[in-house]
Amino acid sequence: MSNPPLVLGIETSCDETGIALARGPELLADVTASSMDEHARFGGIVPEVASRAHLEAFEPTLRECVKRAGVELADVDAIAVTAGPGLIGSLTVGAAAAKALALALDVPLYGVNHIIGHIAVDAFVHGPFPEEFLGLVVSGGHSSLMLVRDIARDITQLGATLDDAAGEAFDKVGRLLGLPYPGGPHIDRLSQGGDREAFAFPRGLTGGREAAKYPYDFSFSGLKTAVARVVEGFEDEEGDIPAADIAASFSEAVVEVLVDKTLRAARDHGVDTVVIGGGVSANTRLRELASQRLEPQGLTVRIPPIQYCTDNGAMIAALGAHLVAAGVEPSGLDLAVTSSMALEEITRPGANAP
């Protein structure tokens, strides 16, 4: 039997230049360069800085990836690149590089959905996906609950964030507590020494009529405002801010909502497996509570190791490998990138597609 196809995955939607090589279901190499250090002092990602950093990092990251995989660039059979959602300038650098490579190597090009990549990457770690499962992606820009019938062809969005994404809430609360950007990992660490019940923060869209109207949607902006009020209260009284307790109580509020809505969606749709991905899935308490609450209900919980939760090239190579295996039509060299992309849109056709 011949070798499964060699797929190159390219991710440049935000501040990480991620490049990976996969041989079918096996990840050969995954290399990431990050420009986060250049953004941290601004308290957020500066798009122009991120674009330029991708331009500088692309070639050395690609070379390193090819070297670690022990293959030749000429052996690549297909290329997958993030087409959206993300920062247009950053996406454009990755897509332009991917097009040049696809043209030079004469191989098909797939422009793929970054959010679906966060789910797809778990197949490298935990094996093939079941026939139908639930996906929860929680990242800096998105909180999305989806029903996956076929990761290459058939995904339905069940719920999304109505305002702030989960990671955005972590980052904003991090700022309120004076923590470096991005706040998520810092709040995670600080929470370990805090009391989860110290503050009764609101659980958005979980009660009464709102829960009935938005069973699978998320809202974290009220929670962020509640945290801001508590912090201001301590500042007004010139007291010490109990940062660890606030961080732990805030994290608990976010994580409980994520896990409870996931459980409800899994029950309603009769699935027995949940795959969780995206930067916030690195969160210690989310990983803990998901297994504590979902597994006793008979659900299998799959969350990739932390290195595959935040943005990386492996997630795009994983989705690319699934698309190639399923025989999905490539995007073509007239691929256009986009800042927003529906979950149902797993790949993007070329701009001139019929």
Packing angle of the helix pair 243-269, 284-294 (nearest 10 deg): 40
For residue 126, the one-letter residue type is H
Q: Which residue, 171 or 217, has its beta carbon nearer to ligand KG4?
A: 171
Q: Which residue, 108 or 167, has its beta carbon nearer to ligand KG4?
A: 167
Rg of the chain over Cα atoms, rounded to whole angstroms, equals 20
How would you label 316-351 residue by residue, b for 16+ Cβ within 10 Å and e otherwise?
bbbbbbbbbeeebebbbbebbbbeebebebbbbbbe
Number of residues that bind ligand KG4 (CB under 6 A): 19
| Contact partner, 123, from Zn ion, ligand KG4, none, Cβ < 5-8 Å per class | none
State the Cα–Cα distance between residues 204 and 211, nearest whole angstrom.
9
Q: How far is the CB of 288 from ligand KG4 (least distance, A)?
A: 12
| Contact partner, 135, from ligand KG4, Zn ion, none, Cβ < 5-8 Å per class | none
Q: How far is the CB of 290 from Zn ion (least distance, A)?
A: 18
304 binds ligand KG4 (CB under 6 A): no
Q: Which of 5, 167, 204, 332 binds ligand KG4 (CB under 6 A)?
A: 167
184 binds ligand KG4 (CB under 6 A): yes
Q: Which of 231, 282, 318, 343 binds ligand KG4 (CB under 6 A)?
A: 282
Q: How far is the CB of 4 from ligand KG4 (least distance, A)?
A: 27
Dig out the tokens for 72 from the structure: 């030749």
Q: How far is the CB of 193 from ligand KG4 (least distance, A)?
A: 15
- Which residues of this chain interact with ligand KG4, rule CB under 6 A? 14, 139-141, 167, 170-171, 182-185, 188, 278-280, 282-283, 310-311
